[in-house]
Amino acid sequence: MCFNLSYAEAIEWQSLGLNLIGDAEQRASKMEVDPLLRGADDVSRLVSAVDSIKKRHGTLIEYALISAINWVPGWRAERQTKVEFGSEHFKLDCFAHHAASGQLYVFECKRGHSVGDADALRSIDVRLAKVTPASEQRARDIGLNVRTIETLILSFYGKKWKSNYPVVDRHEAAALFPPCAVTFTAELCRYTENVVSSHYAARRKSEPLMMDKTVFDRLDELNADRGDFIRFDEKGASIIKGTS
């Protein structure tokens, strides 16, 4: 199972990774200096920018995965859908539905590089207990045939913690969701790691980082007029040369 991304589409996704830095640093430049860092304005803004980048990175991971799942025939996924359930109005987390099996996955997508405090972790379980029946109702309302439901937490970078629900990393997710969708998300994630790490290494005037290039780092190798594209499958991502 695989899907292809055109040059134009790849550029759009690449820009989302690049914009992580610019958007965060622009916002940080307008923030007040933290009281703990008076006299070190640049450090305060750097801390704020990096914190914002990490939050935006988690959102990008979620957005990329849900988008990629929807590119695979027989799958339907949504994120942050506004619903009315019972007497409440709220946003769902994520769900993905496989038409052939009728399997509905309800999940919260976390960056998963570090583990939050106990209260934050408990709140994830509370939220999932709330959104699971609402997600099932939403799936049925849009005509999906739901036979079985699995609720879980996707910890993309792999940190795990005690939860009422299974906590899976990106490798384990490939056994649940289309592997090509997980490949795409992981490749974009690695690209953002390269971009952000290189940016801040350059600011510190450090030695250039030796990084494993992703297909998003290699878009200059694509010829849009020739019809080149990127293919994602369970084995990885590769640039395919067109013939036109």
Q: Is the dihedral of CA 49, 55, 61, 66 positive or negative?
A: negative
Note the pLDDT tens digit of each residue in 1-56. Answer: 788 998 889 999 999 988 888 888 888 888 888 887 888 888 888 888 888 888 89
Give the amino acid at 116.
Answer: G
At residue 115, does pLDDT exceed 80? Answer: no
**Domain residue extents for the chain:** 73-177
Q: How far apart are the first and last CA of the chain?
A: 25
pLDDT at 120 over 60: yes
* DSSP type of residue 34: P
In this structure, what is the dihedral angle of CA atoms 136, 138, 140, 144, given to the nearest 10 degrees?
Answer: -100
Give the confidence band of 210 by pLDDT, cuts at 50, 70, 90.
low
CA 43 to chain centroid: 28
Copy the structure tokens of residue 56.
């935006």
Percent of the chain surpassing pLDDT 70:
95
Q: Is the separation of the CB atoms in 165 and 125 below 8 Å?
A: yes
If one compares 83 and 1, the residue with the highest pLDDT of the two is 83
Rounded CA-CA distance 196/193 in Å is 5
Amino acid code (one letter) for 223:
N
In the CATH scheme, what architecture does the domain 73-177 have?
Answer: 3-Layer(aba) Sandwich (3.40)
* Beta-carbon contacts of residue 34 (< 8 Å; ≥ 6 apart): 44, 47, 48
Q: What is the pLDDT of residues 184-204, one digit of tens each?
A: 999 999 999 999 888 888 877
pLDDT of residue 129: 93
